[in-house]
């Protein structure tokens, strides 16, 4: 029989060992995330910084761009999501914070949200971003959690049941605050905002294509329903939904094929 004193020492040692084990698991986990350049701080995710990642030219991205509606269940890597958000509204000039897409009078009316599904965005092998709605912070190149849970099914319902909105691992929703542009340009500002969202969407299309991903610009949806599902701020109005995922079938063509199309018509 062990004396009560030894039992007490043994249980204290066991507790210390258990605590050390739990702490090492936690530290290992945070280090793993930092290694891939992603820092998850409370409800903000600092995205990997934008850098040159693609090997295809702009003309090839244009050639291979197609609206893609069928995706694999494969998650989108955070590095790729980072590049797509940067293409949509990221900073490309450091004096004034001008962006990758042009804006009338640099009034920047657009706000970008992402609706992330369960296991939709991979931070690394087997580690995923929590499902939810996140808002892109242009000047910190980060995303901030605004609502928890997988809202893709509800979003698809608000988009007339277009299943690609539900099936994509992550879905971009571009909104606009019209007043930022109409305050300077009056009624004409509305036209400028509509033009501008097209610039951002085309950047998303081309970047997704260059990264081996697919997307489709979705304009058919009930505005108020999308606004409610995403949980946008009062002045923000949704303009475009763009599901993002790995294409089930990448679109294939060549400049030779396009050349023959033209030659046959000359
Ligand atoms: C303003 C606009 C709204 C669109 N809305 C939808 C939509 O609601 N659902 C959809 O599946 N595709 C939508 N599209 C994608 C078009 O169907 C697609 O661009 C067109 O068929 C040409 O194919 P491509 O993009 O592969 O060249 C939209 C495109 C634009 C420009």
Residue 172: closest CA among 227, 218, 228, 114? 114
Asked if residues 87 and 256 have their Cβ atoms less than 8 Å apart, the reply is no
Say how many Å lie between the CA of residue 70 and the centre of ligand 1.
Answer: 14
What pLDDT sits at residue 26? Answer: 42
Mutate to test the pocket of ligand 1, among 62, 66, 67 (most ligand atoms within 8 A of CB): 67
Q: Which of 5-9, 194-198, 243-247 has the lowest mean pLDDT?
A: 5-9
Question: Atom 7 (ligand 1): residue with closest C-alpha?
Answer: 218
Q: Is the CB of 66 under 6 A from ligand 1?
A: yes
Residue 78 phi/psi, 5-degree rounding, is: -60, -30
Question: Cα-flanking dihedrals φ and ψ of residue 80, to 5°?
Answer: -75, -40
Distance CA 78, CA 57 (A): 22
How confident is the model over 81-132, as pLDDT tens digits? 999 999 999 999 999 999 999 999 999 999 999 999 999 999 999 999 999 9
Which DSSP state fits 106?
A: G
Residues pairing with 40 in the sheet: 45
Q: What is the pLDDT of residue 3?
A: 55
- For ligand 1, atom 1, the nearest C-alpha belongs to 219
| Predicted model pTM | 0.87
In sequence order, the 6+-apart residues with CB closer than 8 A to the CB of 176 are 109, 110, 111, 193, 196, 197, 236, 237, 239
């Amino acid at each position: 029989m062990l004396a009560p004193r030894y039992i007490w020492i043994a249980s204290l040692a066991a507790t210390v060992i258990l605590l050390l084990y739990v702490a090492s698991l936690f530290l290992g986990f945070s280090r793993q995330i930092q290694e891939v350049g992603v820092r998850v701080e409370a409800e903000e995710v600092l995205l990997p910084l934008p850098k040159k990642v693609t090997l295809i030219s702009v003309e090839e991205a244009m050639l291979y761009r197609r609206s893609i509606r069928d995706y694999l269940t494969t998650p989108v890597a955070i590095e790729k999501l980072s590049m797509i958000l940067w293409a949509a509204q990221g900073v490309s000039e450091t004096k004034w914070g001008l962006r990758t897409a042009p804006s009338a009078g640099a009034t920047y009316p657009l706000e970008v949200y992402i609706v992330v599904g369960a296991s939709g965005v991979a931070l690394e092998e087997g580690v995923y971003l929590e499902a939810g709605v996140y808002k892109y912070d242009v000047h910190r190149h980060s995303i901030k959690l605004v609502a928890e849970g997988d809202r893709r099914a509800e979003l698809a319902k608000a988009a007339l049941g277009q299943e690609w909105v539900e099936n994509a691992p992550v879905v971009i929703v571009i909104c606009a605050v019209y007043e930022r542009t109409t305050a300077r340009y009056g009624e004409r500002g509305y036209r400028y905002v509509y033009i501008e969202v097209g610039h951002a969407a085309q950047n998303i299309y081309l970047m997704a294509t260059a990264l081996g991903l697919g997307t489709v610009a979705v304009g058919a949806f009930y505005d108020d329903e999308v606004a409610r599902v995403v949980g946008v701020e009062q002045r923000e109005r949704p303009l475009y939904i763009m599901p993002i995922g790995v294409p089930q079938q990448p679109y294939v063509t060549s400049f030779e094929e396009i050349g023959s199309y033209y030659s046959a018509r000359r």
